[in-house]
Amino acid sequence: MQMGQLIVFTGPSGVGKGTLLRSLLARHPELELSISVTTRAPREGEIEGRHYYFVNREQFQGLIATGQLLEWAEFAGNCYGTPRTPVEEMIAEGKLVVLEIELEGARQVRETFPGALQLFILPPSPEELERRIRVRGQDSEEAIARRLHRAQVEIAAADEFDIVIVNDDFDRALEAIEMALFAPVS
């Protein structure tokens, strides 16, 4: 059986990664999304095991200590990590596995999975990024400030990634992602 592939999506909070990925996954059932672990409190409507596995700090530390995370990072006051076993199993089964993770995690994956395809999603402007975070209406003022501060660092690192896509017009961004993932290389 063909070995699978790891595909990493990174970009500042609120740029639209999750929304793009939901459309991508609906159109391409061959893609598998890794479900992360986080210490962040669930947002309204978020479901355990579907959006995240929600744990406390002690449990998260235990996952790190026992080597159960493929990568992990602290982001805007909370910890996030990718469970190792499901991802390794899916790759061994030949699947295309998608990680939606922030910059530090993407850098760790670059070291451990150099063959992973890394995409970075950029906003059309800082003002539009802030508008999108606010329209989402799920973060406190403090969380928004932390995320916007972190966004500057992340955007400055976009050049590290294999492919950079601007999420201005949603359908065009989706098409660009599909081209990056599925267009035959000549």
Ligand X SMILES: Nc1nc2c(ncn2[C@@H]2O[C@H](COP(=O)(O)O)[C@@H](O)[C@H]2O)c(=O)[nH]1
Using CB under 6 A, list all residues that contact ligand X: 13, 17, 36, 40, 71-73, 75, 80-82, 100-102, 104-105
* Contacted entry of ligand ATP, ligand X, none for residue 19, CB cut-off 5 to 8 Å set by kind: ligand ATP
> 177 to each of 31, 165, 184, how far by Cα in Å?
13, 7, 13
CB 80 → ligand X: shortest distance, Å? 4
15 is in an annotated binding site: yes
Say if CB 62 and CB 76 are below 8 A apart. Answer: no
For residue 42, what are the contacts with CB-CB under 8 A and spacing of at least 6? 48, 51, 52, 54
Which whole-number Å values give the CA distances from 176 to 56, 89, 92, 94, 104, in the listed order? 37, 28, 27, 24, 24
Block residue for tokens 């017009």:
169
Cβ-based nearer residue to ligand X, 151 or 176: 151
CB of 181 to ligand ATP, least distance (A): 18
Q: Which of 4, 6, 10, 14 binds ligand ATP (CB under 6 A)?
A: 14
Min separation Cβ 128 and ligand ATP, Å:
7
Q: Which is nearer to ligand X, 95 or 120 (CB)?
A: 120
Among 16, 87, 118, 119, binds ligand ATP (CB under 6 A): 16
Nearest approach, Cβ of 11 to ligand X (angstroms)?
7
Rounded Cα gap, residues 165 and 168, in angstroms: 9
d(CA 97, CA 136): 26
Assigned token pair, 105: 């995690």
The single-letter code of the amino acid at 26 is A
- 12-20, 81-89, 155-163, 175-183 -> range binding ligand ATP (CB under 6 A): 12-20
Q: Do the annotations mark residue 14 as ligand-binding?
A: yes
- Please identify which residue in 93, 126, 162, 170 interacts with ligand ATP, judged by CB under 6 A: 170
CB atoms within 10 A of CB 11: 28
Give contact residues for ligand ATP (rule: CB under 6 A): 11, 13-19, 132, 135-136, 167, 170, 173
Known binding-site positions: 11-18
